[in-house]
Amino acid sequence: MVDCSYCGTELKPGTGSIFVKKDGNAVFFCSRKCRTNMLKLKRSPRKWAKEKEKHKKKK
């Protein structure tokens, strides 16, 4: 089992996509959206996802 490198969602085998970076590390994405965000916007993924979760819990 792997987690989406962007949002942290658990990926089931056979779903999502794998991207191998120039440095040889593989990253996993649950969806195209996550892939695009990660590769184009280069946001700090885990941080961003955690902040989002915090807001959800508060409400």
38 binds Zn ion (CB under 5 A): no
Q: In this complex, which beta carbon is closest to Zn ion, that of residue 4 or of residue 27? A: 4
Buried b (16+ CB within 10 A) or exposed e, 20-50: eeeeeeebbbbbeebbebbeeeeeebeeebe
Q: Look at the chain and count its residues.
A: 59
Nearest distance from residue 24's CB to Zn ion, in Å?
21
6 binds Zn ion (CB under 5 A): yes
28 binds Zn ion (CB under 5 A): no
User: Which parts of this chain interact with Zn ion (CB under 5 A)?
Assistant: 4, 6-7, 9, 30, 34
